[in-house]
A and B are shown apart, each in its own frame.
Chain A
Amino acid sequence: GQNIDQPTEMTATEGAIVQINCTYQTSGFNGLFWYQQHAGEAPTFLSYNVLDGLEEKGRFSSFLSRSKGYSYLLLKELQMKDSASYLCAVRDGDYKLSFGAGTTVTVRA
Chain B
Amino acid sequence: ETGVTQTPRHLVMGMTNKKSLKCEQHLGHNAMYWYKQSAKKPLELMFVYSLEERVENNSVPSRFSPECPNSSHLFLHLHTLQPEDSALYLCASSQDWSSGANVLTFGAGSRLTVL
Contacts and interface: CB of A to CB of B under 8 A. Distances in A.
A43 B105 CA distance: 8
A44 B45 contact: no
A44 B106 contact: yes
Given A41-B108, A94-B97, A48 B56 contact: no
A33 B43 CA distance: 13
A64 interface: no
Interface residues of B, number: 24
B102 A95 contact: yes
Interface string B93-108: 0100100011111111
Contacts of A43: 43, 90, 104, 106
A97 B56 contact: no
A63 interface: no
Interface of B: 4, 31, 33, 40-43, 45, 48, 50, 55-56, 90, 94, 97, 101-109
Interface of A: 4, 8, 31, 33, 35, 40-45, 48, 50, 87, 89, 91, 94-102
